[in-house]
Structure 1
Amino acid sequence: MNPSKRELKRRNLLLGAAATAAAGGALAGVAAFSTSRAPAAGLQKDLLSRDPKASKTAQAVYRLLVGLEADARAGRRRGTLMGQHAEVHNERYNPEYGDHSGPKPPGYYYRKPRDITGKLPAFLELDLGPGYQQQGWGVGEPRDYSRAAWPARREFWTYTNDVVDLALGVWHGLPRADDGSYNPTGTERLWNGTKTVLPENGGAPAGLVGMSFHQPWPGSPVKSYEQTLRRNAPSAKDPGWIDRVLTPGTAEHAALLLDLSFLADHLGHLAAHDVPVLLRPYHEMNSLGAEQSFWWAGLEPRQYTALWELLHHYLVGSRGLHNLIFVWAPTAWDGVHGGEPWDFYPGGEYVDVVGVDDYSGTPDRPFDPGGWTSTWHRGLADYGKPRILAESFHVPLGAAQRTTLDQAPWVLWTVWGDGLTAKNSDADVRRTYDDPKTITGGRESGPAGVQWPTLHDGTFEEE
């Protein structure tokens, strides 16, 4: 159904000039929105401007992303990395999750594109939080990065070990030579008599890795999705709670640091094995309504940016993690899912990549009739960072959309978990993965002219 003239007028009022901006202006890097924090003078060229100690491999991954972005802005799109999110906690423990009833092996939705197309995604994002309805943080098998703070031999925390193993396996390959890390064969027998089997990907570097952290509210005794929601956090009844979270010396602040130390321990093991990670924390901060918003949504901009800066300083400064590429991703500012996010931008000194979680429309009924996802792509241009579609239920090139990535040349496009099979036909997935300008993963794949191993020694240079 075509939108009415009244609806189009409402959308244009909401989006301003973005809904009608020319595609050529978008490719030139001209955004229709103004940002409250000073826009970048140009495209950020390297990671060292944010982290002078960034690892060589993290620098190489960022150069790849910024090279794809620079080409897109110049009107010569080289390619878009195809990404897939995997919720390992749901794959392992929720029998109703996914495309059939019953438990799935960890990494089920990393492997699924290959089942359909013969090709793996070029990027896998994993979720360390929120936990699976368990008391306190914990882990499965005891590991050296678990420390005494995290009780081990916890069956419903085994997925955190799988998250680390999958990240290592995408970056270094599965199976792989024993490099001193855990689970190099992909098969691990667990303390409760079961075993975990990770998907093989050719035994060589196969793509890039990301991590999100659906953090339950600091101090929450139970770690689960319900505790990530704003309606269940103390802030729902106590407006002063978040300021205590941000204030050193308070019990609330100590609880925040405990959560961040759980994240840092797992990221630190990846850093020790030279795995660069696109870290996407505190996403969808501009969500409207408290019912399904996360506890970090609904904050004042000063509170949100302080929270982001605190996380950055803790991970990079206090914990010395220099394998990170920070991704800021609001939800689509369509006036229904989200409001304008600009005041929540932490600033270029804390962000490397900008993106959007887009659930505002579908390929056959896009929010912006001028081009599906183009509104959000234009709106992020002024930040001078690589732009990614961080979450979508849909692949970009299905039956209803054949030119999405020409109209909005995202550097990376990630499909959310079971959305791959719930919202897309196999033909849509094949059309996307077989397109000559989408970049897929696996031993033999990689960006045009670049093989994944080239990134591993940190020597990748923009073509």
Structure 2
Amino acid sequence: MRMRGRVQLIGAGVSGALLAPLTLWATRSGDARLKSRLVPTDLGERDPEATPAARRVYAMLAGLENDARRGRATRTVIGQHVELHNERYNPEYGDYRGTKQPGYYYGKARDITGHLPGFVEVDLGPGYHEQGWAVGETRSYSRSSWPGCRPHWGYADDAVDLAVGVWAGLPRPEDGSYNPSGTRQDCSSGTEVSLPHNGGGPAGIVGFSFHQPYPGSPVKGYEQTLRHNSPGAQDSGWFARVVTQGSAEHKDLLYDLGYLADHLQYLSERGVPVLLRPYHEMNTAADKDGFWWAAQDPAAYRKLWRITYDYLVGSRGLHNLIFVWTPNSWDGHFGLEPWKYYPGERYVDIVGVDDYSDTPSRPFRGERWTEFWYRGLEQYRKPRVMAESFHVPLNSDQKRTLSKTPWVLWTVWGQSLTYDNISSPRGKNTPADMKRTYSSPQVITGSDGGKSGFDWRSLNKT
């Protein structure tokens, strides 16, 4: 009663001339608060030499984020991670027994829904249990230290070829990789390899992850990415030496980064911007089986990220990169709070999460699915992405996910799109789930000869 009387008194006793400045102050105050929450839209604020294409891609994603922060209707780019090394060489991988053509799960989304993903992330690591870094054929990015025509290394070529093809179109003219027909011969096996066609024009945006085996690892494979198999499992000082200039371990790190940079340079020379997501899931708990860079001293981890940034951008002059930082979901069990691992504003463009802590049917802590991570990342003035998930965002259990948590990008992990394991071959997503997501007006899909939720040519300008 007192509050209602007070409001009435103010309204009755204060002239309109006095109320107007108060209203204006409130409006300006609200505008200032909103402005402080909006994300920068120019990648040039972080990298003044950023390529025009990288700036356009970042501006698009930042615009989607700002629409969400303003409370406007917005959209999410649907993405698909592609494990090329498993598609090429692991017959037990995926929804049928046998090796697959590269980009199998890129094309699989279209097979079921009629639409391609609008974002594809491929992995340059970890290798396939072979000695040393290598690539399958001699390319302009295959310096002499990466010997050509090694078994099980053609997938590294496929990774960069798929990235170029998603950005510029498949099939594409011969440039030393794929023929105009869209096929090439793998030099080590002699088999014909082909990537999915996507209409021959700009079809989406691309990203790279790098499941890097520990620096100095003679064998390159997934087992060598894990902390318990790295020297750090027995030597508490090993990680500190990795980030200490002049040490043997630091030289091993730079050698590995040279392998990454050579491939990224090939993409840079062809005008392809890349969302680069290094050293993810760094906040995995120490008693869990994380990567060699996880559960380390936060200051040393931040140094690792900055070394990588300075090498790629500074030493190698790669300005086609958009840096993505993605911790594990911090559920207190598998992943811990990640904030101390944040590399810093000038080293990160996009923030996100790898979410395996909750499912559509059982959201974390009983809250809305993915909302705990979405709100947690709001403190950073960066676009927010769901970097890894087993599930498409819109499904029979959760139909309003993108209304409540409008991530600018949502990526489904590899074979989980259609396949889980032998005991559950249906996978994480039903065809109905996939169709509901890919046909939603809230989702931006990839182009396929004109069918698209976005004009990708507007980003890929020559």
Given that 1:352 and 1:385 are in contact with CA atoms closer than 8 Å, whether structure 2 keeps it comes out as yes
Matched, 1:238 2:235: yes
Residues 273-298 of structure 1, C-alpha deviation per residue, up to 9 Å, x if partnerless? 00000000000000113442000001
Residues 115-147 of structure 1, C-alpha deviation per residue, up to 9 Å, x if partnerless? 100100000000000001111000101112101
Residue 297 of structure 1: aligned partner: 294
Residue 21 of structure 1: aligned partner: none
Of 433, 438, 447, which residue of structure 1 is paired with 2:438?
Answer: 433
SS at match of 2:122: strand
Of 325, 329, 337, which residue of structure 1 is paired with 2:326?
Answer: 329
Q: Which structure has more RCO (C-alpha within 8 Å, separation ≥ 6)?
A: 1
Residue 105 of structure 1: aligned partner: 101
Of 445, 456, 460, which residue of structure 2 is paired with 1:456?
Answer: 460
Aligned partners of 1:406, 1:285: CA distance in 2, in Å?
29
Aligned partners of 2:379, 2:85: CA distance in 1, in Å?
36
- 1:42 positional shift: 4.2
TM-score normalised over the length of structure 2: 0.88
Residue 196 of structure 2: aligned partner: 199
Matched, 1:267 2:264: yes
Residue 61 of structure 2: aligned partner: 65
- 1:256 positional shift: 0.3
Residue 209 of structure 1: aligned partner: 206
Q: How many residues align?
A: 421
* Alpha-carbon spacing, 1:189–1:457, altered in 2? closer, same or farther (3 Å): same
Structure 2 residues not aligned, in runs of 5+: 1-30, 419-426
Residue 23 of structure 1: aligned partner: none
Residues 302-338 of structure 1, C-alpha deviation per residue, up to 9 Å, x if partnerless? 0000000000000000000000000000000011120
SS at match of 1:325: strand
Aligned partners of 2:180, 2:311: CA distance in 1, in Å?
30
Matched, 1:172 2:168: yes
Aligned partners of 2:287, 2:227: CA distance in 1, in Å?
6
1:34-433 correspondence to structure 2 within 5 Å: 42-178=38-174, 182-191=178-187, 192-421=189-418, 422-433=427-438
Matched, 1:444 2:450: yes
Given that 2:177 and 2:184 are in contact with CA atoms closer than 8 Å, whether structure 1 keeps it comes out as no
Given that 2:139 and 2:176 are in contact with CA atoms closer than 8 Å, whether structure 1 keeps it comes out as no
Aligned partners of 1:281, 1:358: CA distance in 2, in Å?
16
- 1:446 positional shift: 4.7
Aligned partners of 2:111, 2:226: CA distance in 1, in Å?
34
Bigger mean CA deviation after superposition, 282-291 or 85-94: 282-291
Aligned partners of 1:97, 1:211: CA distance in 2, in Å?
20
Q: Which has the larger radius of gyration?
A: 2
Structure 1 residues not aligned, in runs of 5+: 1-27, 31-39, 459-463
Counterpart amino acid of residue 392 in structure 1: S
* Alpha-carbon spacing, 1:185–1:167, altered in 2? closer, same or farther (3 Å): farther
Given that 1:229 and 1:291 are in contact with CA atoms closer than 8 Å, whether structure 2 keeps it comes out as no
Counterpart amino acid of residue 450 in structure 2: E
Bigger mean CA deviation after superposition, 325-334 or 139-148: 139-148
SS at match of 1:349: helix
Given that 2:391 and 2:428 are in contact with CA atoms closer than 8 Å, whether structure 1 keeps it comes out as yes
* Alpha-carbon spacing, 1:357–1:452, altered in 2? closer, same or farther (3 Å): same
* Alpha-carbon spacing, 1:121–1:342, altered in 2? closer, same or farther (3 Å): same
Aligned partners of 2:167, 2:228: CA distance in 1, in Å?
37
Aligned partners of 2:287, 2:84: CA distance in 1, in Å?
26
- 1:160 positional shift: 0.2
* Alpha-carbon spacing, 1:297–1:434, altered in 2? closer, same or farther (3 Å): same
Residues 426-448 of structure 1, C-alpha deviation per residue, up to 9 Å, x if partnerless? 1101111011110000242455x
SS at match of 1:354: strand
- 1:366 positional shift: 1.1
